[in-house]
Amino acid sequence: MRTGIFMAAVLASMLLVSAAHAASDPDSAKLSKSTSDHTKFKALQQEFNSGPEVTKACLSCHTEASKQLHKTEHWKWEYRSPEGQLLGKKNVINNFCTSIRTNEAACNICHIGYGWKDDTFDFTSEVNVDCLVCHDTTGNYKKPAGLAGNVVTKAMEFPPGSGNIIKPIDLKKIAQAVGKTSRDTCGACHFYGGGGDGVKHGDMDSSLASPDQALDVHMDALGLNFACATCHMTEGHQVPGSRYAPTAQDKGDAHVRGKEYTSNPTTCQACHGQAPHKKIAKLNDHTDKVACQACHIPKFARGGVATKMSWDWSTGGKMGPDGKPLIKKDAKGHVIYTAAKGDFILGENVVPDYQWFNGKVGYTLFSDKVEKSDQPTRINHFEGSAGDGKSLIWPVKIMRGKQAFDPVNKRLAVVHTAGNDDTGYWTNFNWEKAVAVGMASIGAPFSGKVDFVTTESTWPITHMVAPAKDALRCHDCHASNGRLEKVPGIYIPGRASDHAGWLDTAGWALAALTLLGVLGHGLGRVIVSKRNK
Amino acid sequence: MTKKLSSLNVLSLCLLACSLVASAAHAADGDWKRGRVYYQKVCTECHTAKAGGPIAPNTRTMADWTKYLNTDKHAKGKEPLKMYVSREYRANIKATNKAAEKYADVPDEQLFNDVKTFMLKGAKDGDSPASCL
């Protein structure tokens, strides 16, 4: 009996503690921002064995969602530029992992769908849309590489025979906790573009999941705490701000409720307007020539994650003394060579390049001829000039590389890299086999020979906006060998290329004459005053 | 020696078990994002500056972290770990630490649970191993 009383007392204490905890919880008194508690929806109160099963449940309420998604670049991976080029991940080639073609099962884990492993993927299927990859709030949603964007709901060994066991995820729990997109959900793909954390963009990596103010003044987790969608304001699942349709110069106004938007919601002007500098108005005189990002993102890759600045595929395939594929790391532990991918040069706290940009980007595509004598091949290039009235000076990351091409047919190579088969380069390190499969996948001829060309690609720098105190100062550009030294077509006082010796001499002569005049006038006053005494 | 359990005992045991299960479930459902921020901006910053470097969640297993957190000992047992998420501690450092300032009024247990959720989730064998420092 005494034991029972003791246990009852323990229980009562625990209940009291719980009650006290709930009562002292200020969040429990807060008004929920959502009007729905997804744990209460019957459609989500079931065990799910696949992603499409979850989507089917989502669609039972959100009836139009998949139809909206089907119209996005996130789904199509295809975009027709105003200049007529067919772009999007499905069609472009880059100088990172080069192309998704024949590598879909690995690359397409970042497609917002389930099961895109080859050309048979059904782009009209509504249940193939992956809702959770964008709306997960648990941080536990995973799409392992090699499974074509499918999820794992039962522990499985992958690749088969590897001994690597992939843990299953709890789709029911994840589905019941869905919410708005976040830096974590967008970042699950966009931070890892190019094959790893921070590899591709330079201004987007995992450090932005929970950044401080110095790294990004808008996304500061303890400050403004912007989500990606705060700027990439989405309607009907259409996300503005794609790099395939960039806005280089936005002459629209700051968005005001009740007024029709005249600016792209992702641009600085959409919030800050055309004259953002209130304290030093002179700075506003720069905004017709210089993009905001040029001054306000002084360096990229500032969050402690290195970005790739160069990738040389031509050195791939080396084996170590143990006969296994060679891997090299630098002093900081960054991988700088792998047999599968060749040599890398990494960068942190990188000063951008600067160039005129009018919003048009030209691409070298699969079908374009490439001349080894005309190096480097520009995988893409920003168009623009000082005099076209549409361009601003933009900060960019220039990615340099050396990648496979067919020297006879003079085309950049599509390489079958990923996959546990005899032709994948990452498995057999045989260029000829890997390129033959890649070129066949796009119906392009292949001579059987593989050579390498140097390439460059250009990436706009527009994230990692620093606090105003860390923005560039006048002398960063208005000086010899300043940041804009090589930008053509514009007069920038102070830089070496705009230096005119005769003008300096004339200026100093005028200053000296002025000083002499002032001194002479003063002397005259002194003499006259003494005479009059 | 065998002792018969009274009905009160049985009832209490059942309720106690239910309560413990509920507590465990609650412990796994903290705000991992807030826990992440506190871990990064308070724990990691201090460890980096004064304790020989940061400790990433994915350097330990969930069992390791659970044992460590339940033991509630910090600096080789010199002080209780929970002191570092207490409102008193946050009040002391909030002038120089934005996380302590922002979360100044969050109840101790709640914030501790947030940090715990992040650490278990980010453990080597957790749902989402975290190397973030």
Three state DSSP letters for A423-435: CCHHHHCCHHHHH
Give φ, ψ of A355 to 5 degrees.
-155, 160
Q: Name the CA dihedral angle for A339, A343, A347, A352, rounded to a multiple of 10 degrees.
A: -130
- pLDDT tops 80 at residue A352: yes
Q: Does any domain span residue B88?
A: yes
pLDDT higher than threshold 90 for residue B99? yes
Report pLDDT for A16. 41
Q: Which of A399, A228, A202 is nearest to A303 (CA)?
A: A202
Give B107 to chain A, closest Cα distance, Å: 6
Do the Cβ atoms of B46 and B99 come closer than 8 Å?
no
Instruction: Domain of residue B49: give its range.
Output: 31-121
Q: What residues of chain B have any CB closer than 8 angstroms to a CB in chain A?
A: 6, 8-9, 12-13, 15-16, 19, 22-23, 32-33, 36-37, 40-41, 98-99, 101-102, 105-107, 109-110, 121, 127-128, 132-133
Is A14 an interface residue toward B (CB < 8 Å)? Answer: yes
Q: Which of A366, A466, A449 is nearest to A406 (CA)?
A: A449
What average pLDDT score do residues B39-47 get?
A: 93
Q: What is the DSSP annotation of A219-277?
A: T-TTTT---HHHHS--BTTB----TTS--S----PPP-TTS---S-TTSTHHHH-S---
CB-CB neighbours of A170 under 10 Å: 16
B98 with A14: Cβ contact below 8 A: no
Q: Which of B5, B6, B9 to mutate to test the interface with A (most CBs of A within 10 A)?
A: B9
Average pLDDT of chain B is 83
Q: How far apart are CA A471 and CA A298, in angstroms?
A: 6
Structure tokens at A109: 């884990």
Nearest CA to CA, how far is A162 from chain B (Å)?
18
Residues A99, A405: Cα–Cα separation, whole Å? 13
Residue B108 has pLDDT above 60, yes or no: yes
pLDDT band at B133 (very low <50, low <70, confident <90, very high): low
Mean pLDDT of B42-56: 89
Q: Is the peptide bond before A159 cis (omega within 30 degrees of 0)?
A: yes
DSSP conformational letter for A133: H
Residue B129 lies in a domain: no
Q: Rounded to an integer, what distance in angstroms lies between the CA atom of residue A462 and that of residue A268?
A: 10
| pLDDT over 60 (residue B17) | no
Q: Which of A7, A181, A205 to mutate to test the interface with B (most CBs of B within 10 A)?
A: A7
Nearest-CA neighbor of B112 among B24, B54, B27, B10? B27
> Which of A10, A192, A210, A224 is the best residue to mutate to test the B interface, defined by the most B CB atoms within 10 Å of its own CB?
A210
Return the residue of A nearest to B125 by Cα. A167
Domain spans in chain A, listed from the N-terminal domain onward? 39-179, 307-496, 500-531
* Residue A91: Cβ within 10 Å count: 20
Q: Which residues pair with A335 in a beta bridge?
A: A329
The pLDDT tens digits for A23-43 are 444 455 567 788 999 999 999
How many domains is chain B built from? 1
Q: How confident is the model at residue B19 (pLDDT cuts 50, 70, 90)?
A: very low
Which of A409-413, A458-462, B53-57 has the weakest average pLDDT?
Answer: B53-57
Q: Is the pLDDT of residue A123 over 80?
A: yes
Mean pLDDT of A268-297: 95
Q: Which residue of A4, A139, A213 is in closest CB contact with B12?
A: A4
